[in-house]
Every structure is written in C-alpha cells, then in structure tokens.
Amino acid sequence: MGDTTTRRAMRADARRNRDRLLAEARTAFLDHGTDASLEDVAARAGVGVGTLYRHFPTREALLAELLRERFDALAAGARQLAAHPSPREALITWTLDFVRTTTVYRGLTAAVTATLHDPASALHASCETMRRAATALLTRAQEAGEVRADVAPLEFLALVAGASWAREQMAGAEVPGDRLLLLLFEGLGVPDFGRRSPTRSDRSP
Amino acid sequence: MGDTTTRRAMRADARRNRDRLLAEARTAFLDHGTDASLEDVAARAGVGVGTLYRHFPTREALLAELLRERFDALAAGARQLAAHPSPREALITWTLDFVRTTTVYRGLTAAVTATLHDPASALHASCETMRRAATALLTRAQEAGEVRADVAPLEFLALVAGASWAREQMAGAEVPGDRLLLLLFEGLGVPDFGRRSPTRSDRSP
DNA sequence: ATACGATACGGAAGGAGGCTCCGGTTCGTG
DNA sequence: CACGAACCGGAGCCTCCTTCCGTATCGTAT
C-alpha cells in the first residue's frame, strides 16, 4: 500500500511531475542535506511549489518516498541475517548497513531518529520496521551470549544513531567510516588480555 | 582577552543592554534550544535587533559568551583530574561533566561539534580548549593501559559527542542519562568472563 | 470528434526569521 | 554645556515554508 501504482492510476501529467520531483529532490538532498530548499526542488523540476506540496505534504513524505526502497532492502537483509551462523556478526553487519543507509543524506540520521517517537511522521512506518529488525538481531545476539544482555533495543539504537551522527559531523575528517561502530561494539576499555571474541578487524598480525 | 571588562570600558547603556541580552538569550536557549529566535531575544530584552547583532555578530558569539564560564570550569576540572589516582576514572568523570555541559541547551552538542572544524566560529576557542583537555586525560588513561591505545582523541570526542547527541534525541525516553556513556566505555560485546576492570557500576551482586 | 467533469497545476500571498544599514539619540568628557 | 564618539532602533531586504484558489489539462462518455 502507498505504492507507486496504487489509487486507480494517476493522471499522466501528475505521474510525470511526481517523478521529476523525486529525481530533483534526490540530488538536492544529496547536495544540501535533508533541509535543502523545497522551493528549489520544485523550480528545478520545472513545477510550482503547490505541485510539490500536493504530492508530498511534508518534507518527511518526500524523504520517505526516496528511502522506501533502501529501507525495505534493509529489512530484507535483517530477515536474511537472522540465519547467520554468528549472531554477533549478523548484528554488526546489519548495523553497518543501517548506518550506511542513514548517512546518504546529511541530516538524515536526525530525521530518522526524531521520527522514532513521532507516529505522525511519514517516515515513522519505515523507522518502526528498522526498530523491529534491530531488536530481533540484537535479542538473538544477546540470547547467544555474544552481546551483553542488559542493553535495551532503544539504547542500542540510540548508540548506533549517535555514532552515525558523529560520523556525519566528522565528514571528511580522518575517521575511517566504520571505525566508530567497531569501537562501540568493542568498548573503549581495555579487555583483560589481548583480543576477545574474534572480529574481522583483528584477524591480522 | 575578549573579557567582559576589556576594551576601555563600555558605555553604561551598552553594558546594560548587553547584560539584558545575555539574560534573555539564556532563558530563550533553555526554552527553545540553540536555534531560538534572535528577534525574540532582542524583543524580550527590550532592545532592537540591531543592538543584538552589534553586540553579538553571530549566534555562536552569543552562545560562546554564555558558555565561557562553564567551559572554563570544565578545563579547570580537567587539570585537577590529571592527578586523580585512576586515569580511567578521571577520564570517565570528566567526560560525564562534559556531556552534562554540552546538554544544557538542546542542539548545543551539534553546535559545539560543528565548531571543532571551523576556526572562524566564535565558539572555536572554547572547543579547542575542550579538545586539549580531553586529549590529555585520554592519553594518560591510555598510557596507564586502562583505555585501548588505538583510539585517537578525535575519535574519542566523536563517540562522546555522538552519545551526547543521542541522549538529547531520546529526551524523556527511558534512557537513564549517563547510561549511554557507560555502555560506550564498556562496549556492547560480552567480555571473556564476568567483569573486567572494576568500575563503579559493577561492584554490587 | 467533442464536450464536460474530475484532476492537477501554478504562483500569489502571508508568515516567520535572519541579517544589514543608516538616520537619529544618548552618553560622558573637556 | 556642548560636542564628538558611541550606541540605538527598526525599516527593509532576503530566504524559505505553506496555503489557497482561479485556471489549465486530462481522460472518457457520448
């Protein structure tokens, strides 16, 4: 539901404008982050602002449309990873994907996070899906004893979102992308001796 | 330099207005976060916007003035903690203070973080001080072998800022304030067996 | 082919904020 | 008390958001 071909077919001009708007919105968000000028988007699409607002009543609605596919893919990935031999690796892998997704547009992390607590937002549905996916993978890793059991799903998401946000801020700085996530999983403290449970990052000499 | 009594004394009316502006700005930021309306601030202070902008050319300048004291206190705290018996505890303690400070106004974490890479900002000086303080405490903890040695100061700050930001977002949610920081230090993964190095949070059964 | 709803369009308009600029006012000192 | 320096106020211009409605366009029933 809410698909691109629902609701008794759109009028041809409407569909054309809608597509143009989405295309322009995408590049605008890419260039200027999630608070790019919507008037600009409309102008570039060769359309009046009214048309934009009719198709997408809110900025979130526009975002939601652009993210639907990515989010669906993420949810599918979670289902698949549920069968991964290592629950810990599964969780980490999915989390890295999640962060990559919420980082495509500058400011997206904030939008997604804010939405988690606001059922009215157009993005809320997708975010809920993400929340459930994360919860499932986290719980499994915890039951397997590979992730500390006293971490609540919301806490986990908060930390991940925080790291994701931090990554956005440090854009261009000398922080290798996934580094923050790995530190998050392993912790800042020094483990008793040497390495703990094997992780990709410490297989080399 | 840049103090409140420098530059050959201010004219009486100027000083009065300046003080009123700061007072109103403080409550405005408290109520509406760091992007409160500056026109509003001016109005409440019984002053024209022009006056506000003359005293504080940018929003950051206003913020910087409000935060100077707190930041100075934080820097002093860092110097004091440099002598703390446990370098790890020292780092943690300071970090908690830091987060509390960058959380007084909603949105402040973002402002402070953005400023780290922008020497032009009025907040930059204070942020640099913080960076140095954090670096010193971190380095000491690392040399004592209490914090993993491969964490760069900027990475550390990024993670802390991220957790701080996350805490802001989850405002009102069921996340106990300092929880995220503690998780950050201890990591999400399960240590090999039971507890690692003793931390406040695991002294009880 | 035509005509007639239903749909969709465009942009004017009104609102909120940010920031600048300069004629006018006030201070405080000689 | 008088005069220049310092300071003030807010009109004005800008950008962006969002709503609203007269007008244009589409698709179909005739």
CA angle A52, A56, A60 (to 5 degrees): 125
CA–CA dist B160, B97 (Å, integer): 11
Which strand D bases fall within 7 angstroms of a protein CB? 6-12, 15-21, 25-27
pLDDT band with cut points at 50, 70 and 90 for residue A98: very high
DSSP A57-94: SSHHHHHHHHHHHHHHHHHHHHHHHTT-S-HHHHHHHH
For residues B184 and A188, the answer to whether their CB atoms sit within 8 Å is: yes
Q: How far is the first Cα of chain A from the last one, in angstroms, to the nearest whole number?
A: 52
> Using CB atoms and an 8 Å cut-off, which of residues 170-189 of chain B contact chain A?
170, 173-175, 179-180, 183-189
- B147 phi and psi angles, rounded to 5 deg: -135, 140
What is the predicted pLDDT for the residue at A87? Answer: 93
Which chain B residues have a beta carbon less than 8 Å from that of A117? 173
Q: Which residue, counting CA atoms, is nearest to the C1' of nucleotide C8?
A: A14
What is the predicted pLDDT for the residue at A1? Answer: 41
Q: Stated in angstroms, how far is A52 CA from D30 C1'?
A: 35
The whole-number average pLDDT for the span A95-105 is: 94
What is the predicted pLDDT for the residue at A117? Answer: 83
For residues B12 and B19, the answer to whether their CB atoms sit within 8 Å is: no
Per-residue pLDDT of chain B in tens (205 residues, 90 and over written 9): 444 444 578 999 999 999 999 999 999 999 999 999 999 999 999 999 999 999 999 999 999 999 998 998 999 999 999 999 999 999 999 999 999 999 999 999 999 998 888 888 888 888 888 889 999 999 999 999 889 899 999 999 999 999 999 999 887 777 777 899 989 988 766 554 334 344 444 434 3
For residues A99 and A162, the answer to whether their CB atoms sit within 8 Å is: no
Which chain A residues have a beta carbon less than 8 Å from that of B103? none
- In this complex, which protein residues place their C-beta within 7 A of any atom belonging to strand C? A 10-11, 13-14, 17-18, 46-51, 53-55; B 11-13, 35-40, 49-50, 53-54, 57-59
Q: What is the mean pLDDT of chain A?
A: 86
Q: Is the pLDDT of residue A89 over 70?
A: yes
CB contact under 8 Å between A197 and B189, yes or no, is: yes
Residue A27 contacts B where some CB pair is shorter than 8 Å: no
Q: Is the dihedral of CA A48, A52, A57, A60 positive or negative?
A: negative
Is the C-beta of residue A202 closer than 7 Å to nucleic acid chain D? Answer: no
CA–CA dist A147, A149 (Å, integer): 6
What is the predicted pLDDT for the residue at B116? Answer: 83
Residues facing residue B189 across a β-bridge: A147
What is the predicted pLDDT for the residue at B189? Answer: 63
What is the predicted pLDDT for the residue at A190? Answer: 57
Residue A204 contacts B where some CB pair is shorter than 8 Å: no
What is the predicted pLDDT for the residue at A40? Answer: 97
Residue B67 burial by Cβ neighbours in a 10 Å radius (0-12, 13-18, 19+): buried
**More confident call, B173 vs A151:** A151
**More confident call, A146 vs B39:** B39
For residues B154 and A170, the answer to whether their CB atoms sit within 8 Å is: yes
What is the predicted pLDDT for the residue at B197? Answer: 43
The whole-number average pLDDT for the span A178-183 is: 90
CB contact under 8 Å between B169 and A158, yes or no, is: yes
Structure tokens at A33: 């982050």
CA angle A110, A115, A120 (to 5 degrees): 150
CB contact under 8 Å between B158 and A166, yes or no, is: yes
- A189 phi and psi angles, rounded to 5 deg: -70, 160
Closest nucleotide to the alpha carbon of B47, via C1': D9
